Amino acid sequence: MEHSLTRPSEVVRTEALGRDIYRLTLVAPQIAEDARPGQFVMVQTAAGKDPLLRRPFSIHQIAGNGTVQILLKVVGRGTRLLAETKQGDFISVFGPLGKGFSIPKAGQNICMVGGGMGIAPLLFLGKWILRSGFDGKLIALLGARCGDEITTLKEDFIHLGLHPMIATDDGSAGHHGLVTDLMPRNMTPDEEWLVLTCGPYPMMRGVAKICKQKNWSCQVSMETMMACGMGACLGCAISKPNDLHSYQHVCKDGPVFEMSDIVWR
């Protein structure tokens, strides 16, 4: 697919959703038109050379008016600068990039499992699945450190018509514990499930382990450091299973992979 050019995108809204969590709405009609759930964009965080490199963010939502949203947590200088953008600012956004989730045939049940900022692509994914005429069960299991991180996102899933199950590390909302604890409780063992997951590596490893035990299919959205986002720098290489000396690239071959394509450590 052709990428939208790096035309500056106007920031139309910056929302604070919780401590250090922000949602940016950007005018990017071509990205909004081309994007598929699980794809990402590379975002320039400052006009000058510091930081020099663009930062990758999942496409969180798109809208018919040509806007694209990203959800971000402030972890360093680039994300801090993005969180400080104001309505009317312009930032350069490149994408959509990578391979997203493969949406299954009708009739299969789908469970989306997200943790932390890994929840970002699942809202777009859920909406896409529902609009595709999908007729199986669709559930969302969402994990966060505390209730404050998840309140607005939970409402967004409810607005879609889903009733997400929540797990928090501190027990301030939903189940006190791991989001993976929610899988056996909410997924009927005698039915066929496809699990679509995005979040911290240990969480996805736990999800993949359960799926393997239950013989459920699973696609995982991997996260690595990325410099170019399009297969040129080779900085996002991860080993291929069965041959640890050959590599695949998260930005180009992923970020979404079948769980069997990942070497789980």
Ligand X SMILES: Cc1cc2nc3c(=O)[nH]c(=O)nc-3n(C[C@H](O)[C@H](O)[C@H](O)COP(=O)(O)OP(=O)(O)OC[C@H]3O[C@@H](n4cnc5c(N)ncnc54)[C@H](O)[C@@H]3O)c2cc1C
Residues that bind ligand X (CB under 6 A): 40, 51, 55-58, 70-73, 75-79, 117, 120, 223-226, 255
Stretch that binds ligand FES, among 165-173, 199-207, 221-229, 238-246 (CB under 6 A): 221-229
By CB under 6 A, residue 136 contacts ligand FES: no
What residue is closest to ligand X based on CB?
A: 76
Rounded Cα distance, 208 and 262, in Å: 10
Residue 130 beta carbon to ligand X: minimum distance, rounded to whole angstroms: 21
Q: Which option in ligand FES, ligand X, none does residue 51 bind, with CB closer than 5 to 8 A by kind?
A: ligand X
By CB under 6 A, residue 76 contacts ligand FES: no
Residue among 118 and 134 whose Cβ is closer to ligand X: 118
The CB density around residue 210, as the number of other CB atoms within 10 Å, is 17
Residue 78 beta carbon to ligand X: minimum distance, rounded to whole angstroms: 3
What are the beta bridge partners of residue 144? 168
Residue among 103 and 228 whose Cβ is closer to ligand X: 228
Q: Which listed residue (53, 160, 227, 238) binds ligand FES by CB under 6 A?
A: 227
Phi-psi domain of 210 (left: phi exceeds 0; alpha: psi -120 through 50; beta: other): alpha
By CB under 6 A, residue 256 contacts ligand FES: no
Rounded Cα distance, 101 and 256, in Å: 6
Q: How many residues bind ligand FES (CB under 6 A)?
A: 12
Residue among 90 and 201 whose Cβ is closer to ligand X: 201
By CB under 6 A, residue 226 contacts ligand FES: yes
Residue 225 beta carbon to ligand FES: minimum distance, rounded to whole angstroms: 8
Rounded Cα distance, 190 and 109, in Å: 11
Q: Which listed residue (171, 177, 202, 231) binds ligand FES by CB under 6 A?
A: 231
Phi-psi domain of 122 (left: phi exceeds 0; alpha: psi -120 through 50; beta: other): alpha
Residue 116 beta carbon to ligand X: minimum distance, rounded to whole angstroms: 8
By CB under 6 A, residue 36 contacts ligand FES: no
By CB under 6 A, residue 52 contacts ligand FES: no
By CB under 6 A, residue 247 contacts ligand FES: no
By CB under 6 A, residue 249 contacts ligand FES: yes
Q: Which option in ligand FES, ligand X, none does residue 232 bind, with CB closer than 5 to 8 A by kind?
A: ligand FES
**232, 237, 239, 243 alpha-carbon torsion, rounded to 10°:** 20
Please give the residue ranges that form the binding site for ligand FES (CB under 6 A). Answer: 226-229, 231-236, 249, 251
